[in-house]
Amino acid sequence: MERAVFRPPIKNLGLLVLVGAFGGAAAGAALGIPFFVAALFGAGAAGIALSARQAAGLRAIASAEGLAVLGRGAPLSARWEELRLGFGMSPREYGANQRYAIVADARGRSFAFADMAGATPCRAVAGADGGPVEVADLKDAALLLALVVQRVPAWHVLPESLLVAPPAPAAEPPAGDVPGLGHRTSSRAQVGLLGLLAKVGGKVAGSLGKLGAGALKALKTANVGWAVASVATYSILFSWKFALAIMIQLFVHEYGHVHAMRRTGMKVKGMYFIPFLGALAVSEDAFTSRRQQAYVALSGPIWGSLLALAPAALFLWTRDPLFAAVAAWWAIINLFNLLPIAPLDGGRVMQAFAFSYSSGLGLAVSILGLAGAVALGAALDFSLVYFVAFLGAMELVAEAHARTGARALRLLPEPARFATPHYLYLRAVLGPQPGSPGEGQFLRNLERQAQAARSAPMRAGELVRWGLAYAGLALGLLALVWFMRSIPGAEAAAHVLG
């Protein structure tokens, strides 16, 4: 079982990264390096330096065996049953007192931690051996306290109303079976030809009706103002016909994601069009399995690619080069989304594959994808790729945070005994009071961490099938662009591929 590592939050991260970006841009101007490349490398260097400093600093490492605290004057390392737990309050120089928890081993070595919620540090407190102990401000401090309560165990710190186990959650689908895509039973009854045709026709009509209703519902969630702005932008740059073609492809592509999200039980927040950047479908939920992640990610390119076959067929029928151009550019849009760079669809698929093996491999693949994005942007002089890489870096940070909390939740010996009221109580014990401004974000993070903790990896057979689907889709799109490469209007799309 993986260990959970708790660290202090990085303060002023945005400001420091911004300073690094300005420093990189200034150095790039002196050396003749493109502005975006230099700024991105400067911001990346600042982020790496901060991460390295944090990695070598204070950290509490929880495992199934015990707790170890490293990177401080008096390190602590003990088995869970050897620890003692206490609570206290320490005054700040300005403001209210700070609540904290403190654990100590048999030798009196102590570690005090709290959730300071951005407040100023408090004074050192007395440890079990009488020596001063600084109170550490930890991310996910409530999860560490939850581990201590269940692992020591120290149930007595909970109020009587929280000692009753919450009701067990509803049964979830078996690992690897995405709701709506599981095994189906079929009737073996013999039917006549007319009855079979009527049955099949009814199902097709019903499916088309559901798709139409779902598409209309998705269209209602789209931000109409930004969609109109996107059409206007593309019309100015190209033509109204080309702008309309782009918007149709973007809508169908994103609706593929929306449809997959709904089939797998995810709540869809909406579909958003962004001028110059395309569109995106946003869910309110995290993925419950890596197979679900791959399915949702590939559904967009699959729907978009199937749509690209329509103008390709019309070109074969009419020989009108306009249809060839539309088919080629629609294929390019889907090929771009298949690049293995998060948050593009291809990057999400690669993450689903890599994280199914291990967190380390998933992190390495994500970082390599970001580096590849920067290299691609520099090679093609395409600034949009840099923005995608920036979004990917932000998503990687959120993914790392969710997985850290997920590892902590997996270490709970009795996870069913803790529900939202327990975590809110433990958070309040460590500082922030109920109803404080950060409570909503805390609950959202906790929900995503819980979903990540239940996230099932892909099995070997699933990895092969989804890998072949990804490769086959990319090769099919490449073949479509290559087939149209000599037709006026479509050769520009082929030129993008070199």
Chain centroid to Cα 38, Å, comes to: 27
In this prediction, residue 91 carries a pLDDT of: 92
Residues 157 and 30 in one domain: no
Which of 167-181, 268-282, 371-385 tops mean pLDDT?
A: 268-282
Residues 385, 444 share a domain: yes
Q: Are residues 86 and 114 both part of a single domain?
A: yes
Check: CB of residue 8 under 8 Å from CB of residue 136: yes
State the first-to-last Cα distance of the chain, in angstroms, to the nearest integer. 46
- How far apart, in whole angstroms, are the C-alpha atoms of residue 154 and residue 148? 7
Q: Are residues 28 and 134 in the same domain?
A: no
The answer to whether residues 320 and 447 belong to one domain is yes
The pLDDT assigned to 223 comes to 56
Q: What is the pLDDT of residue 362?
A: 63
Any residues with CB less than 8 A from the CB of 323 and at least 6 apart, and which?
Answer: 311, 312, 314, 315
State whether 17 and 80 are in the same domain: no
Which pLDDT score, from 0 to 100, does residue 187 have?
A: 35
Q: Give a yes or no: residue 182 inside a domain.
A: no
* pLDDT for the residue numbered 273: 76
Given a cut of 50, whether residue 193 has pLDDT beyond it is: no
Integer Cα distance of 161 and 422 in angstroms: 10
Residue 104 forms part of a structural domain: yes
Write out the residue range of the structural domain in which residue 90 sits: 65-162
In a shared domain, residues 1 and 51: yes
Residues 45 and 78 in one domain: no
pLDDT at 358: 65
Quick check: 459 pLDDT over 60? Answer: yes
pLDDT band at 372 (very low <50, low <70, confident <90, very high): low
pLDDT value at 311 more than 50: yes
Q: Is residue 194 part of a domain?
A: no
pLDDT for 205: 40
The answer to whether residue 301 is domain-embedded is yes
Residue 125 domain-assigned (yes or no): yes
* The pLDDT of residue 259: 92
Minimum mean pLDDT among 75-84, 421-430, 455-464: which range? Answer: 455-464
Helices 224-237, 240-263: axis angle to 10 degrees equals 140
User: Do 365 and 402 fall within a single domain?
Assistant: yes
Same domain, 32 and 108: no
pTM: 0.65
Where is the domain boundary, 9, 29, 57?
57
Is the pLDDT at 462 greater than 80? The verdict is yes
* Mean pLDDT of all residues in 20-27: 81
Q: Concatenate the DSSP letters of all residues of 93-158 into one string.
A: SSSS-EEEEEEE-TT--EEEEE--TTPPPB--EE-TTS-EEPEEE-TTHHHHHHHHHHHTT-GGGS
Q: 253 CB contacts (<8 Å, ≥6 apart)?
A: 279, 300, 301, 303, 304, 307, 333, 334, 337
Query: Do 324 and 381 have their domain in common?
Result: yes
- Of 108, 131, 162, the one marking the end of a domain is 162
Do 292 and 152 lie in a common domain? no
Residue 372 neighbours by CB distance under 10 Å = 16
Please tell me whether residue 405 adopts helix, strand or coil conformation.
helix
Residue 192 belongs to some domain of the structure: no
Question: What's the mean pLDDT in 395-420?
Answer: 82
pLDDT for 166 equals: 65
Domain count, the chain: 3
